[in-house]
Structure 1
Amino acid sequence: MPFSERRVDSLISLSMKYIMDHLEKYAWDFDTVTVFPTNVKHSMLRKFMSSMYYWRNINFKKVLKVLLIPSLKRIDLTLATVDDEILEILTVCHDLREVYLTREKNNSITSEGLINFISTLKHLNLIQMSNCDGVNDDVITCLAETCQSLSALDVNGCKNVSDEGIERLSDLENIQWLSLSSTQVTNDGIKKLVNGASGANIKELRLANCKNITSEILDIITRHCPSIQVLVFYTMNPCEHRQSTHFSLEEPNLKNLKQLTWTVRW
């Protein structure tokens, strides 16, 4: 028989495949799953989160509950419909650093559920909560008070976020990436943000479709954010392109700038 160089799956890989193919059975056998080694549960969770097949054909919340481990650092739920019950399940993971909750519009999460969840995440670095009506100023305040290491925040499309919440972020020294597009923030809120502790460290700021922000804020951003690399701005006022602005592309204000998107509505 000729020698074949085809890779042979390891016993653990074959066992993992069998378990994933019969995940519904193992998920209900809680005692069996709890004794799985941490690395095996990590692998199972990665496979589970990367395929909508499992989510549609298996009790999502039951499987998530038995696979989660307290030492988990990252979770991506952007393809799932997240609600307060799922957030409650996630509260066992006190060491989470990156959380991706929503991309598409999601009204299943409440502000109370988010606050309860976020209040357990003292080591959080990044959180994505875009297009979620449950995200409001109280949620942003909870982030600012609990997550002192926060460096990235995406609340794009969260229409209940205003200056009151954004101003609370101004005391955080590690904020570098912010997506505030389609929120209720105004020039005053952005002024206080960039004048705060994190202003000098902000590398990316997205302010598209913010109807309460005008081009006057651009000069303030460039003067107070010397580290800015990506700046996205969309002028909502169709008459604003006729108004003058002091925004300058000259050095040294924007020496680190790599992308500038400035869209004017005609």
Structure 2
Amino acid sequence: MFCGGVDPLLDLCVIYVARSFSRYDSQIEPLPPHIKDKLIKLLSAHGHISDSNISQVLHPGVMKLDLRECDISDVSLQLISRCSQLKEINVNARKGEERTSITSEGISALAQSCPNLSVISMKRCCNITDHGLLSVTRNCRLLRVVNLSGCSGISDGSLGALGQNCTFLQSVDFSSTKVTDDGVRALVSGSCAQTLKEVLMSRCVLLTDRAVEYVVLSCPHINIFVFHGCPLVTGWSREILERMAQSNKLKQVTWTIY
């Protein structure tokens, strides 16, 4: 007697198709969205989605894409821009690498067509500039989580745009960038200061104690604050952090004092 049920059988079929994707590429496009979602998850986890095949698995209702293991470029982002329901996307570079194939042009195309984005992660996408981030913040007003760690092309303008336009922002990571105290002040001068819960700004060599002070004094709901590896931060920040600790809101704080 067969006891497995339909779902396990379907999952096995999807796994088989994913393993032999090139053999079935001409038959993928007509598949229903729920099966495509399963394929996207399997293929992306193994880095098998690329510019040449992503259009076959996409559908208008896609809501989440994790492409950090995949070799994609602005070409893929142009195709993803057809998925207007998209809420989360991760195009981080692989660990220890930089991603140069994604630029502000691709990010802008994505942002202009996907206004429901709430989570975007672009870690070490070094060819994204303030121009691309400005497009994201103007078009995606529901952003809650933004990861710009290692995006060496951004500057204070990106933080200012986040502060001005993203009123629901809860978590921002701009570690290993060249932002300055002015950028941090611009970020927390916006309405997102009331919603921010996590700020990560490690290894920012231009930040000083002022940046720490801006965050602590402007963001009443902050509970994760990480700024280790910032060589211009001094012992003066210890006093600021002690004030913050008295509120008992901190869950995690990590820093280095030089």
Answer whether TM exceeds 0.5 for this pair: yes
The CA deviation string for residues 79-131 of structure 1, in whole angstroms up to 9 with x for no partner, is 11221111122122111100000133111112212212222110000100011
Distance 1:203 1:139, change over 3 A: same
Distance 1:123 1:69, change over 3 A: same
Q: Distance in 1 between matches of 2:100 and 2:159?
A: 21
The CA deviation string for residues 2-43 of structure 1, in whole angstroms up to 9 with x for no partner, is x9x99578543443344334321211x2xx333322212211
Task: Determine if contact 1:214/1:235 at 8 Å carries over to the other structure.
Answer: no
Q: What are structure 1's unaligned runs of at least 5 residues?
A: none
Q: Distance in 2 between matches of 1:245 and 1:51?
A: 44
Q: Distance in 1 between matches of 2:13 and 2:237?
A: 67
SS at structure 2 position matched to 1:178: strand
Q: TM-score, normalised by structure 2?
A: 0.88
Q: Distance in 1 between matches of 2:41 and 2:235?
A: 52
The CA deviation string for residues 194-213 of structure 1, in whole angstroms up to 9 with x for no partner, is 12100011100011111111
Summarize the alignment of residues 113-262 of structure 1 with structure 2, pairs less than 5 Å apart.
Answer: 113-171=106-164, 172-234=166-228, 236-237=230-231, 241=234, 246-250=239-243, 254-262=247-255
Task: Determine if contact 2:14/2:39 at 8 Å carries over to the other structure.
Answer: yes
Distance 1:204 1:14, change over 3 A: closer
Q: Distance in 2 between matches of 1:167 and 1:64?
A: 34
Return the letter of the residue paired with 2:45.
Answer: S
Return the letter of the residue paired with 1:123.
Answer: N
Return the letter of the residue paired with 1:263.
Answer: T
SS at structure 1 position matched to 2:101: coil
Larger Rg: 1
Match of 2:13 among 4, 15, 34: 15
SS at structure 1 position matched to 2:240: coil
Aligned to 2:33: 38
Summarize the alignment of residues 1-150 of structure 1 with structure 2, pairs less than 5 Å apart.
Answer: 10-27=8-25, 29=26, 32-52=27-47, 55=48, 60-104=50-94, 105-150=98-143
SS at structure 1 position matched to 2:65: strand
Return the letter of the residue paired with 1:163.
Answer: D
Return the letter of the residue paired with 1:81.
Answer: D
SS at structure 1 position matched to 2:242: coil
Return the letter of the residue paired with 1:117.
Answer: L
Return the letter of the residue paired with 1:66.
Answer: Q
Distance 1:162 1:34, change over 3 A: same
Q: What is the CA distance between 1:244 and its match in structure 2?
A: 7.2
Distance 1:246 1:220, change over 3 A: farther
Return the letter of the residue paired with 2:14.
Answer: M
Q: Distance in 2 between matches of 1:7 and 1:247?
A: 59
Q: What is the CA distance between 1:254 and its match in structure 2?
A: 4.0
Return the letter of the residue paired with 2:175.
Answer: S
Q: What are structure 2's unaligned runs of at least 5 residues?
A: none
Q: TM-score, normalised by structure 1?
A: 0.86
Task: Determine if contact 1:81/1:106 at 8 Å carries over to the other structure.
Answer: no
